[in-house]
Structure 1
Amino acid sequence: MRFSPFVERIAGQGVAAWDIHHAAFNAASQGEDIIILSVGDPDFATPSFITDAAVDALQAGDSHYTEIAGRPALREAVAARYSQTLDRPLTADNVIIVPGAQNALFISSLCLLQAGDEVLVLDPMYVTYEATLKASGATLVRVPCSAQSGFRLDPQLLAAAITPRTRAIFFSNPNNPTGVVLNPQELQAIADLAIAHDLWVVVDEVYESLVFDGEYHSLAALPGMARRCIVIGSLSKSHAMTGWRIGWLIAAPQMVTHAETLVLSMLYGLPGFVMEAATAAVLAHDQVTEGMREVYRRRRDLVVAGLSDCPGIRVQAPQAGMFVLVDVRGTGLSSLDFAWRLFREAGVSVLDAAAFGEPAQGFVRLSFTLGEERLVEACRRIVQFVANQPRAVNAASPAFS
């Protein structure tokens, strides 16, 4: 007997990156004192009014099949919010509800790409993008955003990567793992290339509510992008709803109809009570996210301050999100060895950021999704671990310009 080669084909370094997180989770579940900073899962509960909406729906018998594209009230609420943020009218026909941003990415990949196509990705990128895009049979073309530039886009490199086979550009903004938020000039450069070469652009915006520095701008709001840009959103990070598995895809109605055909066979709708909770969350979006953003801003500042004076490592404050990239090249360890040894010797789990792309080689990604007391302890352990490494104090390599 044999298996289909599909799963082996899409597996890659991004999938293996989670090994250390699973090891840490297992150790913590057995009672070991492990501080898990290897996943972006908020440590606080979903706001009670959102949970109450789901409970009320369940108690009212909301446990049957639902509309394939999502409940109209939720789609309309999402459309109303994006009509404001994109400054153009949207309707429910522009929205399809799916189980989280991960499924939205997978759906976009299967709807837009096929074998022989090339898809450009800004590197480093979220670890599951590789598998998600390979599932379509398309070839990934990585456009590096170097550490020396602060992991910012180089439009000339993006333009040089385009070939007659290029079909789409996929990227996250704000970026995971770097926390970089693209500015209007960088977004316009992407839009200009997409229009000139007739490309699709898929933008993962799950962290757009958690921008700490400056104002967020969406690529989809730029002239000429309405018909070719797909925006992916989620409530996982902004509303502490990772386990609810609820997100959406914003696109032209023709793309939404195409996605609905795929979703019919993949999912056959979402739980109604989950969508009732999501509707309550979207209608109170700003009320919830303003508080979340301030919590994460304080945590970011705490972690950056706690690690900035540690010889041998360098850290840059992210503009958005819930992760910090730390340059560990000055320790004399590879980022993979650093991550595993930090876990085994200090009881702190972080991810080897090289799994996100070659530009992040020598960096680790840590989340600030725990309370301040645990974050202070994690920083103390990291500083002590680094101090124990037999490396030259002046060996730290420059991380950012």
Structure 2
Amino acid sequence: MKYSSLVERLQGKRTSAWEIHHAAQQARARGEDVIVLSVGDPDFATPEVIVERAVEALRSGDTHYSAVVGRDPLRAAIAAEHARTTGRATAIENVMLCAGAQNGIFAASLCLCEAGDEVIVPEPMYLTYEACVRASGATLVPVPVDAKRAFHLDCDALEAAITPRTKAIFFATPCNPTGVVMPRADLERIAQLALRHDLWVLSDEVYADLTFEREHVSIASFDGMAGRTVTIASLSKSHAMAGWRVGWVIGPQALIGHLGRLALSMLYGLPGFIQEAALTAFEHKAEIVAGMRDVYRRRREVVYERLSRVAGLRCLLPEAGMFMMVDVSGTGLDTVDFTWQLFRAQGVSVLDASAFGETANGFVRLGFVVDEARLAEACDRIAAFVSSLQLQTRSG
């Protein structure tokens, strides 16, 4: 039997990068002593106040269909938060809920792009961007971001990538995997290019609440950008709600209408009890997010302090989020061999960052997703593994 060409467009190196993570999960399920740092799903549970609201809603019978684009109270809370961060009025008609940020990116790609279009994306990029763009029939055009600049964008290179076929620029700030927060000057340059060339901008802001030193700025806040910016966000990281699949898209009202018709054909809205829990998450956002940010900052310091002194490794201090990029090229192993040999020797799983783009070749991505003691142990195991490689080299 034959399948649609769509399935070919959805697969590739980026979407098959999770093999080591799946192997680590299976080893943990067998009772083996493994430390899984290969996915952005933290160890702590969703805050109790959010869980209790979901349970209460379930017990009260909130198990029926809900509005496809989301309930108005939750959309209003999202709109109000967006207005606060951008300084621009946002109506609920500009907001649609989706099953996690990734679902929003996929749906927006289908509504914005088509065959013959080009979409510019700074690389390294999140793993599934390519599949989302290619599903629409468009071509993804990666713009390499130099590791020597700590993976900060080269705006000149981005401008040089624009052609008459360019339809959109997609990016994440803060970025997964690099932890880079785009400075205002870079965002202003992108906004100028979008206005000059009449481009859409998709801004993935899932980690916006988890910045450390540099302030997050939304490109939708710039003059002329609200009508051409699609902002994607979720509660997965900021509220430890990855499994709840609560995300949203903010954009022009016409786009929300198109997205709503697509959701009608695919998902038919988020469960009501989950939306009630999400509304509670917004009501308690200030204290929850502050706590999450402090946790990740402490974990970042644990990893950086321990691994930056290991000969053969070079750590890039992330400006946001729950990941660190570590250059392992000094060990003499390529990243595929490094990740699998580390896992087999020490039971620590990290992700080969070259899957996020060739510009990340030589790096692995490590997640701050276990408690500080366990994270310190993981770092010690990594250090022991690197030391063993050096001993092998000297003895050879």
The TM-score range, normalised by the shorter chain, is: over 0.9
- Match in the other structure for 1:99: 99
Offset, 1:283: 2.1
Q: Distance in 2 between matches of 1:192 and 1:115?
A: 25
Q: Could you tell me whether the CA contact under 8 Å between 1:332 and 1:391 is conserved in 2?
A: no
- Match in the other structure for 2:32: 32
3-state SS of the aligned residue for 2:310?
A: coil
- Match in the other structure for 1:236: 236
- Match in the other structure for 2:261: 261
Asked if 1:313 is matched to 2:313, the reply is yes
Q: Distance in 2 between matches of 1:118 and 1:6?
A: 17
Mean Cα deviation higher: 51-60 or 7-16? 7-16
Asked if 1:353 is matched to 2:353, the reply is yes
TM value normalised by structure 2: 0.98
Q: Could you tell me whether the CA contact under 8 Å between 1:65 and 1:271 is conserved in 2?
A: yes
Offset, 1:7: 1.8
Q: Could you tell me whether the CA contact under 8 Å between 1:339 and 1:352 is conserved in 2?
A: yes
Asked if 1:295 is matched to 2:300, the reply is no
Q: Distance in 2 between matches of 1:49 and 1:139?
A: 44
Asked if 1:276 is matched to 2:248, the reply is no
- Match in the other structure for 1:379: 379
Amino acid at match of 1:200: W
Q: Distance in 2 between matches of 1:277 and 1:48?
A: 10
Aligned-pair RMSD on alpha carbons? 1.3
Q: Could you tell me whether the CA contact under 8 Å between 1:330 and 1:391 is conserved in 2?
A: no
Count of aligned pairs:
394
Amino acid at match of 2:349: S
3-state SS of the aligned residue for 2:7?
A: helix
Amino acid at match of 1:127: L
Q: Could you tell me whether the CA contact under 8 Å between 1:331 and 1:391 is conserved in 2?
A: no
How is 1:1-400 mapped onto 2 (pairs within 5 angstroms)?
Answer: 1-390=1-390
3-state SS of the aligned residue for 1:389?
A: helix
Q: Distance in 2 between matches of 1:391 and 1:168?
A: 50
3-state SS of the aligned residue for 2:64?
A: coil
Amino acid at match of 1:164: P
Q: Distance in 2 between matches of 1:189 and 1:391?
A: 49
Q: Distance in 1 between matches of 2:170 and 2:12?
A: 18
Offset, 1:42: 1.3
Q: Once the two structures are superposed, what CA deviation does each residue of 1:203-231 show, in whole Å capped at 9, x if it has no partner?
A: 10000000011211111111110000010
Q: Distance in 1 between matches of 2:8 and 2:158?
A: 29
Offset, 1:357: 0.3
Q: Distance in 2 between matches of 1:279 and 1:25?
A: 32
Offset, 1:384: 0.6
Q: Distance in 2 between matches of 1:90 and 1:6?
A: 35
Q: Distance in 1 between matches of 2:251 and 2:288?
A: 25
Q: Could you tell me whether the CA contact under 8 Å between 1:203 and 1:230 is conserved in 2?
A: yes
Amino acid at match of 2:36: I
Q: Distance in 2 between matches of 1:19 and 1:309?
A: 29
Q: Distance in 1 between matches of 2:385 and 2:5?
A: 42
C-alpha distance 325-263 of structure 1, shift in aligned 2 (>3 A): same
Offset, 1:390: 3.7
3-state SS of the aligned residue for 1:365?
A: strand
Mean Cα deviation higher: 277-286 or 139-148? 277-286
Percentage of matched positions with identical amino acids: 55
Offset, 1:342: 0.6
Q: Distance in 2 between matches of 1:3 and 1:26?
A: 30
Q: Once the two structures are superposed, what CA deviation does each residue of 1:2-45 show, in whole Å capped at 9, x if it has no partner?
A: 33332222201111110010011001100111100000101111
Amino acid at match of 1:24: A
Offset, 1:365: 0.2
3-state SS of the aligned residue for 1:201?
A: strand
3-state SS of the aligned residue for 1:388?
A: helix
Amino acid at match of 1:70: G
Offset, 1:392: 10
Offset, 1:391: 7.9
Offset, 1:148: 1.1
Amino acid at match of 1:135: A
Q: Could you tell me whether the CA contact under 8 Å between 1:74 and 1:279 is conserved in 2?
A: yes
- Match in the other structure for 1:396: none
3-state SS of the aligned residue for 2:15?
A: helix
C-alpha distance 17-391 of structure 1, shift in aligned 2 (>3 A): farther
Q: Distance in 2 between matches of 1:349 and 1:7?
A: 28
Q: Distance in 2 between matches of 1:108 and 1:115?
A: 15
Q: Could you tell me whether the CA contact under 8 Å between 1:113 and 1:136 is conserved in 2?
A: yes
TM value normalised by structure 1: 0.97
3-state SS of the aligned residue for 1:377?
A: helix
Offset, 1:287: 1.9
Offset, 1:134: 0.9
Q: Which runs of 5+ in 2 are unaligned?
A: none
- Match in the other structure for 1:398: none
Q: Once the two structures are superposed, what CA deviation does each residue of 1:261-309 show, in whole Å capped at 9, x if it has no partner?
A: 1111011111000000001111222221011000100000100001010
3-state SS of the aligned residue for 2:141?
A: strand
3-state SS of the aligned residue for 1:256?
A: helix
Q: Which runs of 5+ in 1 are unaligned?
A: 394-401
Q: Distance in 2 between matches of 1:338 and 1:153?
A: 27
Q: Distance in 2 between matches of 1:266 and 1:167?
A: 25
Q: Once the two structures are superposed, what CA deviation does each residue of 1:54-73 show, in whole Å capped at 9, x if it has no partner?
A: 11111111111110100011
